[in-house]
Structure 1
Amino acid sequence: MLPVPVYRSPLSEPGATGGITTTVADESLLRVVSGGVRTGTWLNPATARFPAVVLGQAAAERLGVVSPGTQVWLGGRYFTVVGMLEPVALAPDLDRAALIGAPVATELFGFDGSPTTVYERSADAAVDLRIEISRTKASDPALRQGVVLLNPGGPGGGGLAMPLETRGSELARHFDVIGFDPRGVGRSSALKCERIPDTRPATSRPADAGFTAFAEYARAHEAACRPAGGGIRPFINTANTARDMDVIRAALGESRINYLGYSYGTYLGAVYGSLFPRRLNRSVLDSSVHPSWLWREQAEQQSVANRFNVEQWATWVGRRDRTYHLGKSPVEVRPPPRRWRLSSPPDRFRSPAGGRKTGPATGRTEQLHVPFLHPAGETRPAEARGLSGRRGDPGRRRPRDPVRRRPRDGRGAWRPADFRARQRQARARRHQPLRHRQNRRLPDQRRAATVEVGMRG
Structure 2
Amino acid sequence: MNRYRWGVAAAAAASVAIVNPALAQAQPQTIEWVGCPQYLGYMDRGGLAADVDWQCGEVQVPVDYSDPDGRKIDVSVSRIPAENPAQSQGALFGNPGGPGEQALDFWLPVEEGAGPGARLHENYDLVAVEPRGLSYSGGVACDAPVTAMLDPAAAYTACMAADPQLVQSLTTANTARDMEVVRATLAAEKDAHGGAAAHGGAAAHGGAAAHGGVADDGTMDYLGYSYGTYLGATYATLYPEETGRFVFDSAVNPDWVWNEQAAQQAEARKQRTDDMFAWIAAHDDTYHLGDTPLKVFHAWKGITDEELSGGMNLTPPDARMGDLPEFVRPVGEPVLDVVNATAEPRARVDGAVRALTGADNGRATSGLTGTTLNAAGSREMWPVVARRMQDIRQYGAGTLAPGTRMVDPPQLTTDDVLFTAVTCNENPQSGDPVQAALAQFNAQTGGNAYDVMAQRARGGVDCAGWSASSAPVPLDGSGLDTAPLVLQSEHDALTPYPGGVELAEEMGGVLVTVQGGDHGVFGRGNEAVDKVVDDYLVDGVVPQPQVLPEAQIRTPLTPPQPAPLPAAEDLNAAMAQGFSVASDAVKQAAQQIDSAVAQRDAAQGGPVQDDAMQSDAGQTDDVQAGSATGGPIEQAVDDAVDRIGTVLGVE
Q: Specify the TM-score bucket, using the shorter chain as the normaliser.
A: 0.5 to 0.7
Give how far 1:118 is off: 0.8
Name the CA shift for 1:199/1:453 in 2 (closer, same or farther; >3 Å): farther
Contact 1:127–1:231 (CA<8 Å) still a contact in 2?
no
Matched, 1:283 2:344: no
Correspondence for 1:238: 172
Contact 1:138 1:172 in 2 (8 A): yes
**Sequence identity percentage:** 31
Q: Please say if residues 287 and 430 of structure 1, whose CA atoms lie closer than 8 Å, have aligned partners that are also in contact.
A: no
SS at match of 2:222: strand
Residues 1:138 and 1:124: Cα distance change in structure 2 (over 3 Å): closer
Shift of 1:161: 1.6
Higher relative contact order (CA 8 A, sep 6+): 2
Alignment of 1:431-450 (within 5 A): 431-432=492-493, 449-450=531-532
Q: Give the TM-score of the pair, scaled to structure 2.
A: 0.38
User: Hey, what does 2:475 align to over in structure 1?
Assistant: none
Tell me the equivalent position of 1:428. 489
State the match for 1:380 in structure 2. 382
Describe the shift of the 1:159–1:365 C-alpha distance in structure 2 as closer, same or farther (beyond 3 A). Answer: farther
Identify the match of residue 292 of structure 2 among 313, 329, 333. 329
Decide whether aligned partners of structure 1 residues 328 and 453 sit closer, same or farther in structure 2, where only a CA change above 3 A counts: farther
Equivalent residue runs for 1:42-441 within 5 Å: 116-121=57-62, 123=67, 126-168=70-112, 169-195=118-144, 217-229=151-163, 231-253=165-187, 254=214, 255-335=218-298, 338-342=301-305, 363-364=367-368, 366-375=370-379, 378-391=380-393, 427-429=488-490, 431-432=492-493
Residue identity in the other structure for 1:257: M
Deviations 1:317-371 (A, max 9, x none): 2222222222221111111865222457799xxxxxxxxxxx9899255431122
What CA distance in whole angstroms lies between the structure 2 residues aligned with 1:154 and 1:186? 15
Distance 1:230 1:199 in 2: 17
Greater fraction strand = 1
Determine the C-alpha separation between the residues in 2 that align with 1:222 and 1:367: 28
- 1:368-401 alpha-carbon deviations (Å, 9 max, x no partner): 11223223xx23333223223444x659xxxxxx
- Cα distance change, pair 128–315 in 1 and its aligned pair in 2 (3 A): same
Q: Give the SS at the match of 1:120.
A: strand
Normalising to structure 1: TM-score of the pair? 0.53
In structure 2, the residue corresponding to 1:193 is in which secondary structure?
strand
CA contact (8 A) 1:136 1:164 kept: no
Letter aligned with residue 130 of structure 2: D
Question: Aligned in 2, Cα 1:447/1:339: closer, same or farther, shift over 3 Å?
Answer: closer
Task: Count residues in correspondence.
Answer: 279
Counterpart residue identity of residue 195, structure 1: A
SS at match of 1:116: strand
Contact 1:130 / 1:189 at 8 angstroms: preserved in 2? yes
Secondary structure at 1:182 match in 2? coil
Quote the residue 2:639 is aligned against.
Answer: none
Gaps of 5+ in 1: 2-17, 20-113, 201-213, 348-358, 396-425, 438-445
Could you say what secondary structure the match of 1:162 adopts? coil
C-alpha distance in 2 between matches for 1:120 and 1:343: 49
Q: 1:435 to 1:370 in 2, by over 3 A?
A: farther
- Assess if the C-alpha contact under 8 Å between 1:286 and 1:453 holds in 2: no
Structure 1 position 163, deviation (Å): 3.1
Q: 1:237 to 1:199 in 2, by over 3 A?
A: closer
Shift of 1:257: 0.7
Q: Give the superposition deviation at 1:453.
A: 12
As a proportion of its length, which structure holds more helix?
2
Distance in 1 between the 2:529 and 2:57 partners? 40
Unaligned runs of 5+ in 2: 4-54, 113-117, 188-213, 311-362, 397-486, 495-513, 518-527, 534-542, 546-651
